Amino acid sequence: MTRFNYRLTGRVSAAFLVFILLSGIPGCGTQEAQEARPQSEIETVVPAAASQAPLTAEAPDAPAAVAGLKAKIKFKHDDGKTAFSVKPEDDGAKLVDADEKEIARFNVSGAKLKIKDAQNVVLGYVIYSDGKYKVENADQSQELWKLQPQGDGDWKFEDGEGRLIYKLMKREYGYEIEDGNENSLSKIKLKDGKTSLRDSSDKTVVSTKDQVSTLAFACLGLEVTDSPAIKAAFMTMVIFHSR
């Protein structure tokens, strides 16, 4: 009886092995057998082109840099009223006013950020390369400004022709913005969890209690343009690439 059971079991196991091997060959196996396969096994043979996986930060059109803006950053005036906010989006960020009305949208592709106003008109681009940032006009025919590190924590801000406009001097409290003659124009200070942009008389212009680097915040103090969208876009790109 024991010998019979051993032989019978061996035959059944061999037959089952043959069935398993044949069921993996296209066209073999019954419909019922195919339907009985686990869902996870069926999914492994679906062509990659048919997959509809959600866009992630590692995909080409949504670089990992976008993850640098983890939550909305709200900026307030000295009187405590909201001035504007920068909100993360799947493809970049959005600039909104105190009433959450869109002012501009920042779409990121690779190392390039496109600036568009509320009417979807392109205002310019911010481009990151080799640790440097530059702003180009709407059709990318002209470099307007560039921000580059000096190796000691300081940065210099130049126009498209390489002329020095500002120096961002690293300080214990954050950064001090000076002109080419070393005149102090403004300061970016981090104190007690609050980051603020202060004018030459040390009066707060705008501040936030949300997380943002003092270098990124300094972009709001670069008074080469009256466009809040371009300033905020510059800041946002620095946030995306801050480490």
DSSP 19-31: HHHHHTSTT-S-H
For residue 46, is it within any domain? yes
Mean pLDDT of 24-52: 40
Across all residues in the chain, what is the average pLDDT? 80
Whole-angstrom Cα distance, residue 126 to residue 233? 7
Same-domain check for residues 158 and 181: yes
Same-domain check for residues 31 and 143: no
**pLDDT tier at 152 (50, 70, 90 boundaries)?**
confident
Q: How many residues does the chain have?
A: 243
Whole-angstrom Cα distance, residue 199 to residue 27? 76
Same-domain check for residues 117 and 212: yes
Same-domain check for residues 38 and 83: no
| Boundaries of domain holding 14 | 2-50
**pLDDT tier at 154 (50, 70, 90 boundaries)?**
very high
pLDDT at residue 52 greater than cutoff 80:
no
Domain count, the chain: 2
The pLDDT score that the predictor gives to residue 58 is 33
CATH number of the domain where residue 227 is located: 2.40.160
Q: How many CB atoms lie within 10 A of CB 130?
A: 7
Spatial neighbors of 143 by CB under 8 A, at least 6 apart, are 134, 135, 136, 160
Among 48-57, 74-83, 137-146, 191-200, where is mean pLDDT lowest?
A: 48-57
For residue 58, is it within any domain? no
The pLDDT score that the predictor gives to residue 43 is 38
The pLDDT score that the predictor gives to residue 144 is 97
The pLDDT score that the predictor gives to residue 110 is 86
Whole-angstrom Cα distance, residue 77 to residue 71? 20
Stated pTM of the model = 0.71
Same-domain check for residues 43 and 132: no
For residue 165, is it within any domain? yes
Whole-angstrom Cα distance, residue 135 to residue 142? 9
For residue 57, is it within any domain? no
Dihedral pair phi/psi, residue 120, rounded to 5°: 70, 20
Same-domain check for residues 108 and 72: yes
Same-domain check for residues 156 and 232: yes
pLDDT: which is higher, 114 or 19:
114
The pLDDT score that the predictor gives to residue 221 is 95
- Cβ atoms of residues 203 and 78 within 8 Å: yes
For residue 157, is it within any domain? yes
Among 28, 50, 72, identify where a domain stops. 50
pLDDT at residue 40 greater than cutoff 90:
no
Mean pLDDT of 213-235: 95
